[in-house]
Amino acid sequence: MADSKRGGYGGGGGSGGGGVASRVATPKTTSTSTTSQAAPMGDTFEALGKAIGARLRLTTAAPHAQTYEGSLFTACPILNVVALNTRSTSTSTSTTNPPSAAQEPGDYSIIPISSIQSFQLLSLASPSAGAAEKGGKSTANPTSFTAARPAIGQLDLKRLRAREADAIRKRKDYDNDRGRGVTKEAQAIFDSFKRINLPIRWHNQEMIVHEAVIITPPYRAEDCKGAKEKQEVLNRVRKVLEGERRKIREREEREKKEPTTAGVATGSEGLAGPRKGG
């Protein structure tokens, strides 16, 4: 029984071979198209990522099997999806002379990578139209941004570097303005000095104002110290400190009263009885 089964796999040519199955030659494919079937999601995404701008025929898996054909617009590694432009181009336009990015219409389908069963590469990404004008040949790299479809505009790298430097500077200034191991009130006093544009910085837990006056914890007017020749600056800093501490106390008192006021309003509403219609 086992011999007859093995012979059955080989077809009629294996009947005289003592039950040994004959080998079946696999025809060699001469087509230039590339097909991927049942590949892991990571391999599928890597292959599709290299085919941006190419024309594909893509089939999704059951139970909602469907075949799409169009140019691959992008493959997103964050959402694990691909975008396929399925709008067919003009019949008068061949694949060797595709429309430019500005002329090509768009009808995009978003397809999850996990639902792709197979895809077939129909044609490679075309070179950019601007590079193809001279001599009918393109010198642009089809995988570069200059060949992207739709076209990607150039970035002002000088401006981007300036924005980066400015963001880094602001972040460093913010970190330098944060006191280490100080109270919430102390940080509030420091921030109030910064708001009125008084030059102030931290030195450990001490505040240095105008590079002349030192304010030590607990940051009262009598905690301000300065050189004899800086008495005018010292007096001005003390007045500002007293005024800012008074503002902070008043703000804290208002914040404490607000919950109490809200509670009283809620209680009075309850004493007034139910609303009309309720």
Q: What is the pLDDT of residues 8-42, one digit of tens each?
A: 444 444 444 444 444 544 444 444 444 445 456 66
pLDDT value at residue 74:
87
pLDDT tier at 60, thresholds 50, 70, 90: very high
- Beta carbons within 8 Å of 118's beta carbon, 6+ residues apart: 35, 36, 37, 38, 58, 59
Give the model's pLDDT for residue 126.
65
Query: What are the residue boundaries of the structural domains of the chain, listed by start?
Result: 34-128+142-147, 158-258
Query: Do 225 and 214 contact (CB within 8 A), yes or no?
Result: yes
pLDDT at 27: 43
For the segment 44-68, the average pLDDT, to the nearest whole number, is 86
**What does the DSSP 8-state code read for residue 23?**
P
Domain 34-128+142-147: assigned CATH number = 2.30.30.520
181: left (phi over 0), alpha (psi -120 to 50) or beta: left
Is 219:200 a contact under the CB 8 Å cutoff?
A: no
* Predicted confidence (pLDDT) per residue in 153-210, tens digit: 777 889 999 999 999 999 999 999 999 999 999 999 999 999 999 999 999 999 999 9
- The pLDDT tens digits for 206-251 are 999 999 999 999 999 999 999 999 999 999 999 999 999 999 999 9
Rounded distance between C-alpha atoms, residue 239 and residue 232, angstroms: 11
- 213's enclosing H/E stretch is strand 213-215
pLDDT in tens, 100-136: 444 556 788 999 988 999 889 898 876 544 444 444 4
Residue 84 contacts residue 58 (beta carbons within 8 Å): yes
pLDDT of 57 > 60? The answer is: yes
Q: Are 208 and 198 in contact (CB under 8 A)?
A: no
What pTM was computed for the model?
0.42
Q: What is the identity of the amino acid at 27?
A: P
